[in-house]
Amino acid sequence: MSTPNPLDRLLEPAEATAIIRAHTPLLDAERAPLADLAGRVLLEDVVSDEDQPPFPAATMDGYAVVSDDAAPVRRVLGSQFAGTVEGFHVERGTVAYITTGAPLPPGADAVVQIERTVAMPDGVRIDDTPRAGQNIRPIGSDLKRGDRVLARGAMLMPAAVGLLASLGRTDALVARRPRVSVLATGDELVEPGQPLGPGQIRDSNRFALVAALAPLGVTIRYAGLAPDTDAAQRAFLIERIADSDVVITSGGVSMGQKDLIKGLLVELATVHFRQVRMRPGKPFTFATAGPGGRTLLFGLPGNPVSGLVGFEVFVRPALLAMQGHQRADRPYARVRLAHAVTPIDRIDYIRVTLRRADDGLLDAASTGPQQSSRLASFVGANALAIIPPRDMPYAAGEMVDVLLLDAV
C-alpha cells in the first residue's frame, strides 16, 4: 500500500463545485455589436438618454381628431404616415388620416380607429365619441429619459437586445467569449469515417463535447485527438494552456498505465482535485494553469457518459460563470420517481426521462441500463436524477431532485 495522495481525496460534488467556482475568473469585458449579443450577459448598466416615444404617437390606424368636436362629417386635411411630419393643424371640423406609430398632428388630441369611421363624398363620418388621449401613446410612456432600463448582470434575451437597439446603441459591454480547447486521448481511438483496426473504437467524446459547447457562447480554439504518448499530450497541454481560457481533455485520468493526462496535469498545472464522490464520473480532474491560474483545465474520464455528466455538472456552469451569468447551474426540479431505485455509496446521477403525469406532477423514469459507456441511454434523457446515498432503497413515488437538461 502506498500512502494516499492528498490530490486523490474524494470530494462531494458540492465541494468540487465550490472549488471550481472559487478559481473561475470573470473574463475581460469587450464591446460586442448588437448582432453578437444573444445569450450573453450585460456588464454595464444602461440608462435611457431619451423619452420613448419621443413624440405622441398613434396606436391605431384611423383619424386624428379633436375629441370634443361634434361635427358628424369632417374634412380630411391629408395623410399623416409614420416616419414623417406633415405639419397639419387639426381643428374642429377637420381630421387627418393617421397610421400606427405616426406622430399626432398638433391640435388633435385623440385617434379614432378606422373601423369606427365611414368615408363620405365630402369627408369622413366619425361614429365615435372619443375621449382625449384615446389611442395615443404619450411622450415617454414606454421609457423615460433617465430610466435604468437594463442592469449589469442582465441576460441579453431578445427583448433586451431590441431595447438596446431602440436606444440607438450599436454595441454593449459583455464578457469576451471563452476560448476553449478540447482533446480526446487514447491509442484505441479512430476518427469517425476511418476503418477500425482490431481493438479500436471511434472517438465519440470529442464530438459530443463540441456539441455540448455549441450553445454556451464559446469559441473553440482547437478540438483534436492524441495518442497515449507523453510527447503528444504534453505538447497539446503546453500550447493550449497558453491560448485557451478552458482546456478540456477526455480520458487518461484513471488508474491505468496509459492514463498520462493525470500526471501531466500535476507537472504542468496546479491540480485541485481529481476524484468526486459521484457516479458516473468519479475520476474527474480540475486544475488551473497559466498566468494567475486563469486557464481552467478539466480532465474528464474517457467513458462517454461519465465525460458528459462531468461536463454538465462542473464544466458547463464554469463556462457560464466566467461570462458573468448569475445562474450558471442548470435548473433543479423536484420530481417523483416512477420506479424504485437502489442507492449506491456516492451520489448517483441517473439519466431519466421526465413526463407530466395526470395529476400534474413530473414523473422520472430511467432511460435504461446505466453503464457509463452507454451513450444510448443519454439520448432521450431530459434530466439527471440526483440519488444521494442512504441505507434504504428509494421507493417508487418518492420525490427526488433532478438537474433539468432539456424541456419536459
Residues that bind ligand AMP (CB under 6 A): 184, 186, 188-189, 201, 203-206, 250-252, 254, 256, 259, 301-304
CB 211, min distance to ligand AMP, A: 13
CB 307, min distance to ligand AMP, A: 8
Q: Is 251 one of the binding residues for Mg ion (CB under 5 A)?
A: yes
**Residue 110: CB partners within 8 Å, gap ≥ 6?**
64, 65, 66, 67, 130, 131, 132, 133, 134, 135, 136
Q: What is the DSSP string of 298-348?
A: EEE-SSHHHHHHHIIIIIHHHHHHTTT-S--SPPEEEEEESS-B---SSEE
Cβ proximity to ligand AMP, 111 vs 225, nearer residue: 225
Q: Is 304 one of the binding residues for Mg ion (CB under 5 A)?
A: no
Cβ proximity to ligand AMP, 177 vs 279, nearer residue: 279
- C-alpha closest to that of 249 among 180, 323, 329: 180
The window from 22-30, 215-223, 264-272, 299-307 that contacts Mg ion (CB under 5 A) reads: 299-307
The window from 138-146, 219-227, 250-258, 345-353 that contacts Mg ion (CB under 5 A) reads: 250-258
CB 258, min distance to Mg ion, A: 6
Q: What is the DSSP string of 163-214?
A: HHHHTT-SEEEEEPPPEEEEEEE-TTEE-TTSPP-TT-EE--HHHHHHHHHG
CB 183, min distance to Mg ion, A: 12
Residue 24: contacted member of ligand AMP, Mg ion, none (CB under 5 to 8 Å, by partner type): none
Nine-digit cell string for 190: 479512430
CB 191, min distance to ligand AMP, A: 11
CB 184, min distance to Mg ion, A: 9
Cβ proximity to Mg ion, 104 vs 300, nearer residue: 300
CB 182, min distance to ligand AMP, A: 10
By the 10 Å C-beta count (0-12 exposed, 13-18 middle, 19+ buried), 251 is classed as buried
Distance CA 299, CA 271 (A): 10
Cβ proximity to Mg ion, 234 vs 336, nearer residue: 234
CB 36, min distance to ligand AMP, A: 31
* Closest residue to bound ligand AMP by CB: 302
The window from 203-211, 261-269, 296-304, 331-339 that contacts Mg ion (CB under 5 A) reads: 296-304
**Residue 312: CB partners within 8 Å, gap ≥ 6?**
212, 330, 384, 403, 405
Residue 301: contacted member of Mg ion, ligand AMP, none (CB under 5 to 8 Å, by partner type): ligand AMP
As beta bridge partners, residue 308 has none
Residue 201: contacted member of Mg ion, ligand AMP, none (CB under 5 to 8 Å, by partner type): ligand AMP
Which one of residues 186, 299, 307, 324 is an interface residue with Mg ion (CB under 5 A)?
186
Answer yes or no: are the C-beta atoms of 324 and 41 closer than 8 Å. Answer: yes
Q: Is 283 one of the binding residues for Mg ion (CB under 5 A)?
A: no
Distance CA 166, CA 168 (A): 5
Q: Which residues bind Mg ion (CB under 5 A)?
A: 186, 251-252, 302
